[in-house]
Amino acid sequence: MKRSPFIVREAVASHPREISLKILITGGAGFIGSAVVRRAIADGHQVVNLDALTYSANLDNVEDVASDAGYAFEHVDVCDRPKLEDVFARHAPDAVMHLAAESHNDRAIEGPLDFVRSNVMGTAILLEVARNYWNGLDETRKAAFRFHHVSTDEVFGALGEDGDFTEETPYDPRSPYSASKAASDHLVRAWGHTYGFPVVITNCSNNYGPHQFPEKLIPTVITRALEGKTIPVYGDGRQVRDWLHVDDHAEALLLVLHKGRLGETYCIGGDASKRNLEVVKLICAHLDKMAPANTPHADKISFVTDRPGHDFRYSIDSSKVEAELGWKARMPLEAGLEDTVRWYVDNYGWVERIRERGFHSDRLGLVKA
């Protein structure tokens, strides 16, 4: 499988390497989680990748590091307390990065309780197992331990035509997915305040890049275009998202783990806001060059019924993480989209293996009477 070279090569030199840790990363076979796993191994850390391997997880995403001496995989659900306790006892991690979550809004509309189970109960169980483990550490390791909870900007609700989300924005989740993530954020803060558990939280904008499961906007557009299918755009396509390349995000997450202040929240955005329809047209233009069809790919755009409760606009102000930790997104959106399109074109076998498992990008999330 061909890898995207841009961010990892550039970012490794951007921040001095921190002390090596053994990091338990939940959801490490998913899209963002696998990027964190790859980056952590590249930075010299040991990684325990804990994943339940639900529909969107894919161990192909970490095949480049799977043979590394510092990598271990545990097929465990975060809701399985006895197995979690066993993983902590055997691996003795120095830190936890919690990325395991159900994350697709359309799927949450059809099966909200799956999201409550994984995102709410799973987080609570993981917190309690981690807290009990932390209480048993010696004073030096206990003082150094951290629990980093990775969340979304969707917990803040929706913006109008202007303004940005910050760490001070009140929570106003509008969907079953964002409500489940908001609940998990509150649980993490409660464990910090009540038990003195050393937590830090990040809320990110929309991620994109290689290895993203083809149910989110960007990989859906690319894969359906490559298959000669129509390209669905929800509503009028005027919704605005702040796009963050996943490798930029992975760099920021590890930096927050090392240097973020305990008990704090950091918003991480890409400083790359664009309307969905504009993003789709940019992707189509790249596809016209890399995988031309008989007609321009943009001719396949089809406006479809919008998602119920679809938030209009998200945008993140990342000034806190920039000022305190010196991080700033560096991948320009157009270059990142070109890099992403190229990866899917060059690695279409990755998509075909997903199709063989029965996933065909069928529409979900329409409320049924």
**pLDDT exceeds cutoff 70 at 13:** no
CB 28 within 8 A of CB 99: yes
Helical residues (DSSP H) of the chain, grouped into ranges: 6-11, 31-42, 81-91, 105-110, 112-115, 122-135, 139-144, 176-195, 217-226, 246-259, 276-290, 319-325, 333-346, 348-356
Average pLDDT over residues 49-53: 98
CB 64 within 8 A of CB 39: no
Percent of the chain predicted with pLDDT > 90: 88
Hey, where are the domains in the chain?
A: 21-208+243-270+310-331
Residue 138 has φ and ψ, to the nearest 5°, of -70, 165
| Catalytic residue of the set 153, 242, 251, 338 | 153
* 3 state DSSP class of 218: helix
- How far is Cα 6 from Cα 16, in angstroms, rounded to an integer? 18
pLDDT per residue as tens digits for the range 309-341: 889 999 999 999 999 999 999 999 999 999 999
Angle between helices 276-290 and 217-226 (to 10 degrees): 40
**pLDDT exceeds cutoff 70 at 15:** no
Bridge partners of 267, per DSSP, are 203
pLDDT per residue as tens digits for the range 297-310: 999 999 999 988 88
HSE-up of 83 (CA within 13 Å, CB side)? 11
Beta carbons within 8 Å of 334's beta carbon, 6+ residues apart: 282
**pLDDT exceeds cutoff 80 at 14:** no
CB 23 within 8 A of CB 93: yes
Q: Amino acid identity of 59? A: L
Q: Tell me what the pLDDT averaged over the chain comes to.
A: 93
Q: 195 an active-site residue? A: no
Q: 177 an active-site residue? A: yes
Beta carbons within 8 Å of 69's beta carbon, 6+ residues apart: none
- How far is Cα 263 from Cα 54, in angstroms, rounded to an integer? 30
Confidence of residue 104 (pLDDT cuts 50, 70, 90): confident
**pLDDT exceeds cutoff 90 at 44:** yes
| Catalytic residue of the set 154, 164, 317, 339 | 154
In 10 A of CB 132, how many CB atoms? 12
Q: 21-208+243-270+310-331 belongs to which homologous superfamily?
A: NAD(P)-binding Rossmann-like Domain (3.40.50.720)
* 3 state DSSP class of 5: coil
Q: 264 an active-site residue? A: no
| Catalytic residue of the set 71, 177, 266, 314 | 177
**Token match 């002390």: residue?**
19
